[in-house]
C-alpha cells in the first residue's frame, strides 16, 4: 500500500492481479547458471522519485538502483550497506552512522558523477519534506524538529535532527526512543540524494520514464523503461559489494493478468526462470502433470490484501445505484458497525483464495488480521495471541475466533446473520431501504481478481440474502481502476463502496508499521482505505476512529518495554478488527504454487522495507535446472535452522552498538 503500497499486488496480490511473478533467463545448459533474470510488474510508476513516492510501482523500479544505510541479508538480519558502522546513545535518542568511503554516484550510463557522502542523506530527507513525501509518516514524528519544519513552523532545515558531522559521519536525533529505528533505514525516504544533481534536473528529477533522471549507487543501473512494456537493469560494475551481485541483467516485463498461462509457457520455453502457477486455469492439470515433482508452495509473506470500506463516498460515476435513496442507504449501512461485521463474517476467505490458489492451496494464503499474527511476539505469545485476548471484550461474536494464518477464522454464517439482524433493525428505523447495493470496481483484464470478487459476491449474497445485500461488480479498465482507487488524488475521487485495491507491505519491524497508517491524520492512506482525507469528517467520529487514534498514541508512547508495547498495539488491532472498517482477505505475497530456477533462499529476506526478495536482486542466484519440491523442502529446513542461529547472533551484536 505508504500511501497504500499495493501490490499490483507487490508479489503480491499486486493491485488487481493478486500476483507478482518472477521471470528470468533464456535457456542455458545444465552446467551453466543463468545470469539474466526478469520480473513481472503490473503497474507503471508515476514517478522515479524514490524519496517522495510510497507506492509499490516506484519501489519495484528504484530499489535496485539506490542503497541506503542498511539492507537485509538472506536471513532477515539488517546488514550494513552505506553505513559501515553505527552507534546509538544510551538514551536511545541519537544514532550516529559512519558512511562507507569510496561509494560512487553513477549515471544510468555508468559514468561516475560524485562520491556518496553524509550530506546526501540530509539532502534526501530535506527533499522528502519539501515535496511532502507520501512516506513522511515514517519520519516526521520521529526525527526531532521535522514535524515543525513540515508544518511550516520552522523554515530552517538545520533545526531538524539530521546532520552531516563530516563527509563520512551522519547523525539523527529522535524525539523519543524507537528500538526499531534502524529497520526504517531500508525504506526509501531515508535514502541519499546528490544536491547538485537534483538542482541540475529541476522538475525533471525522477521523471517516470527517464532512467537518466536519477543517479545510482546500488547493485544495478536502470537502463530502460517503456510504459506497459518493460523495465531493464544491468549490473553496476562499480558497486562497492559487486561480489554479492550474481546477475548481469534484470528485466521486468509488464503483465496485465489477462493471460495467466503465459507465465508458465515462458518458463517452459526457457524465457523465464520463475513462474507463479494458477490452479484454476484451464491448462493447469497438464502443467501439474508435467511439473508434478517441481511444484511447491512459498511461505506466506508479511503483506496484507483485503477490502476497504468507504465511509464517505462522494463520486458515483461507476455505480449500479439509480436513486439518491440507494446512495443514502448504502452510506448509512456502511457507517453501521453491525452491518460491517455482517459483511466480515459473511466473507468466505477460503473460497476467495481458491480463485487463485485452487482448492488444495486455498487456505494457505488466508489472513485474518491486518498485522501478520506472528510479525512480533511478546514472550511466548504471538501478536495474534495478544489480539485474541483483547478482542473478546468487544462482544461475544469474537469468542473462539482463530486469528492464525493459513485458515479462515472469521467466516461464520450464523454470526453474519445475527449481526445483520441487529443492523437491519437499526437501519430500517433510520429510513434505510433494502437491499443495500455495494459497488466494487475491478480491472476487467484481471481474470483471477474478478473471480475473487465474484466469490465475495456469492458468499455475501448467499449468507445475507440478495433481498438484503447486493454486490455490484463494476468492470473497468486498469487505468480507470487506478484513477478511482490507488492513484485517486483525493477522497472525492474514490469512487467505490468496497475496494479490493488496498493492501500493505510493512516498512519496519514493529506493529506500528501496519496500524499507524490508518491514523485519521494520514490522509494519503485513509482516503485509499476508507474514502476520507479529512480527520474532521463527521463520519470519522461516527465510526469511532478517534478512539483508534488514542489507542495508537498510547502504544506509540510505550518505548521502554517491548512486551507492553506489543500488548498496546494488539489492543489497537483488536479495535480495528471489531470495527470491520477493513476486511482482511489474504497475504499479498507468498502461499502460492510456483515452479522455479531460482536457487532457494539465495535472495535477501525481510518482512519489511524496500529491500525484500520480491524487488531486490542483490544476492539472488539462478540455477540451470528446475528446482524440485524435495530440494525446496530440504533447502527451507536448512535455511530455517541457519536463520535462527544467525538471528540470535545478530541480536547479541546489537548491544555492542550502544555507547
User: Any idea of the CA torsion for 584, 590, 594, 595, to the nearest 10 degrees?
Assistant: 170
Q: Which pLDDT does position 535 carry in this prediction?
A: 96
**What average pLDDT score do residues 364-384 get?**
94
Q: Which pLDDT does position 16 carry in this prediction?
A: 27
588-604, pLDDT tens digit by residue?
A: 888 889 999 999 999 99
Distance CA 154, CA 147 (A): 9
Q: Which pLDDT does position 26 carry in this prediction?
A: 36
Give the pLDDT band (50/70/90) at residue 364: very high
Report whether pLDDT(309) > 60. Answer: yes
**What average pLDDT score do residues 44-48 get?**
94
Structural domains present in the chain? 39-220 (3.90.76.10), 242-301+591-643 (no CATH), 309-587 (3.10.105.10)
Task: Select the more confidently predicted residue: 417 or 654.
Answer: 417
Q: Are 262 and 629 in contact (CB under 8 A)?
A: no
Residues in the chain: 659
Distance CA 358, CA 27 (A): 29
Q: Which pLDDT does position 31 carry in this prediction?
A: 55
234-257, pLDDT tens digit by residue?
A: 999 999 999 999 999 999 889 888
Report whether pLDDT(60) > 60. Answer: yes
Report whether pLDDT(413) > 90. Answer: yes
The cell numbers describing 433, all together, are 431501504
Distance CA 443, CA 451 (A): 11
Distance CA 296, CA 604 (A): 20
93-103, pLDDT tens digit by residue?
A: 999 999 999 99
End-to-end Cα separation, the chain, in angstroms? 36
Q: What is the mean pLDDT of the chain?
A: 92
Q: To the nearest whole percent, how much of the chain has pLDDT over 70?
A: 95
**What average pLDDT score do residues 57-85 get?**
93
Element housing 127 (H / E): helix 118-130
Report whether pLDDT(316) > 70. Answer: yes
Burial class (CB in 10 A: 0-12, 13-18, 19+), 156: exposed
Q: Which pLDDT does position 11 carry in this prediction?
A: 31
Compute how many other C-beta atoms are within 10 angstroms of the C-beta atom of residue 462: 12
Amino acid at each position: 500500500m505508504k500511501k497504500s503500497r499495493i501490490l499490483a499486488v507487490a508479489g503480491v496480490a499486486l493491485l488487481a492481479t493478486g500476483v507478482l511473478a518472477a521471470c528470468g533467463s533464456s535457456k542455458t545448459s545444465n552446467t551453466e547458471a543463468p545470469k539474466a533474470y526478469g520480473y513481472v510488474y503490473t503497474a507503471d510508476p508515476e514517478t522515479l522519485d524514490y524519496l517522495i513516492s510510497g507506492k509499490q510501482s516506484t519501489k519495484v523500479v528504484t530499489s535496485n538502483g539506490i542503497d541506503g544505510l542498511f539492507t537485509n541479508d538472506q536471513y532477515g538480519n539488517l546488514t550494513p550497506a552505506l553505513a559501515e558502522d553505527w552507534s546509538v546513545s544510551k538514551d536511545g535518542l541519537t544514532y550516529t552512522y559512519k558512511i562507507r568511503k569510496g561509494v560512487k554516484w553513477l549515471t544510468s550510463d555508468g559514468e561516475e558523477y560524485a562520491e556518496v557522502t553524509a550530506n546526501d542523506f540530509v539532502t534526501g530527507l530535506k527533499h522528502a519534506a519539501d515535496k511532502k513525501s507520501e512516506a513522511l509518516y515514517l519520519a516526521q514524528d520521529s526525527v526531532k524538529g521535522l514535524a515543525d519544519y513540515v508544518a511550516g513552523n520552522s523554515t530552517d532545515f538545520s533545526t531538524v535532527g539530521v546532520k552531516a558531522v563530516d563527509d563520512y559521519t551522519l547523525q539523527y536525533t529522535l524525539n523519543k526512543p524507537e528500538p526499531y529505528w534502524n529497520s526504517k533505514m531500508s525504506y526509501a525516504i531515508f535514502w541519499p540524494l546528490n544536491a547538485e544533481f537534483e538542482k541540475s534536473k529541476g522538475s525533471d528529477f525522477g521523471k517516470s520514464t527517464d532512467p537518466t533522471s536519477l543517479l545510482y549507487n546500488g547493485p544495478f543501473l536502470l537502463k530502460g523503461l517503456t510504459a506497459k512494456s518493460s523495465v531493464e537493469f544491468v549490473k553496476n560494475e562499480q558497486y562497492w559489494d559487486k561480489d554479492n551481485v550474481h546477475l548481469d541483467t534484470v528485466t521486468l516485463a509488464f503483465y496485465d493478468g489477462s493471460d495467466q498461462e503465459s507465465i508458465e509457457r515462458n518458463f517452459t520455453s526457457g524465457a523465464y526462470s520463475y513462474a507463479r502457477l494458477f490452479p484454476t486455469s484451464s491448462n493447469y492439470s497438464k502443467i501439474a502433470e508435467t511439473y508434478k515433482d517441481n511444484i511447491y508452495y512459498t511461505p506466506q509473506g508479511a503483506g496484507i490484501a483485503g477490502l476497504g470500506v468507504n465511509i464517505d463516498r462522494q463520486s458515483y460515476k461507476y455505480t449500479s445505484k439509480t436513486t439518491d435513496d440507494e446512495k443514502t442507504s448504502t452510506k448509512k449501512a456502511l457507517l453501521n458497525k453491525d452491518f460491517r461485521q455482517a459483511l466480515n463474517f459473511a466473507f468466505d476467505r477460503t473460497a476467495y483464495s481458491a480463485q487463485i490458489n485452487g482448492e488444495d492451496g486455498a487456505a494457505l494464503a488466508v489472513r485474518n488480521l491486518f498485522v501478520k499474527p506472528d510479525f512480533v511476539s511478546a514472550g511466548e505469545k504471538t501478536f495474534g495471541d495478544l489480539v485474541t485476548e483483547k478482542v473478546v471484550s468487544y462482544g461475544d461474536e469474537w469468542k473462539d475466533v482463530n486469528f492464525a494464518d493459513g485458515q479462515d477464522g472469521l467466516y461464520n454464517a450464523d454470526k453474519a446473520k445475527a449481526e445483520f439482524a441487529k443492523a437491519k433493525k437499526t437501519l430500517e428505523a433510520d429510513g434505510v431501504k433494502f437491499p443495500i447495493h455495494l459497488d466494487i470496481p475491478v480491472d476487467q483484464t484481471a481474470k483471477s481478481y474478478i473471480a475473487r470478487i465474484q466469490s465475495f459476491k456469492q458468499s455475501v449474497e448467499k449468507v445475507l440474502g440478495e433481498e438484503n445485500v447486493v454486490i455490484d461488480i463494476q468492470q473497468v479498465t486498469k487505468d480507470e481502476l487506478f484513477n478511482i482507487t490507488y492513484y485517486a488524488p483525493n477522497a472525492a475521487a474514490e469512487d467505490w463502496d468496497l475496494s479490493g485495491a488496498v493492501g500493505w507491505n510493512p516498512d519496519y519491524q514493529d506493529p506500528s508499521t501496519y496500524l499507524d497508517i490508518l491514523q485519521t491524520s494520514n490522509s494519503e492512506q485513509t482516503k485509499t482505505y476508507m474514502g476520507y482525507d479529512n480527520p474532521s469528517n463527521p463520519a470519522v467520529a461516527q465510526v469511532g476512529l478517534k478512539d483508534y487514534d488514542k489507542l495508537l498514541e498510547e502504544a506509540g508512547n510505550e518505548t521502554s518495554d517491548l512486551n507492553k508495547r506489543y500488548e498496546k498495539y494488539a489492543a489497537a488491532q483488536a479495535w480495528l478488527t471489531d470495527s470491520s472498517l477493513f476486511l482482511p482477505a489474504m497475504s499479498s505475497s507468498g502461499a502460492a504454487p510456483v515452479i522455479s530456477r531460482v536457487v532457494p533462499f539465495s535472495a535477501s529476506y525481510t518482512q519489511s522495507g524496500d529491500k525484500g526478495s520480491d524487488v531486490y536482486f542483490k544476492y539472488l542466484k539462478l540455477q540451470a535446472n528446475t528446482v524440485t519440491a524435495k530440494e525446496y523442502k530440504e533447502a527451507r529446513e536448512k535455511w530455517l535452522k541457519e536463520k535462527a542461529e544467525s538471528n540470535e547472533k545478530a541480536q547479541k551484536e546489537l548491544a555492542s552498538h550502544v555507547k
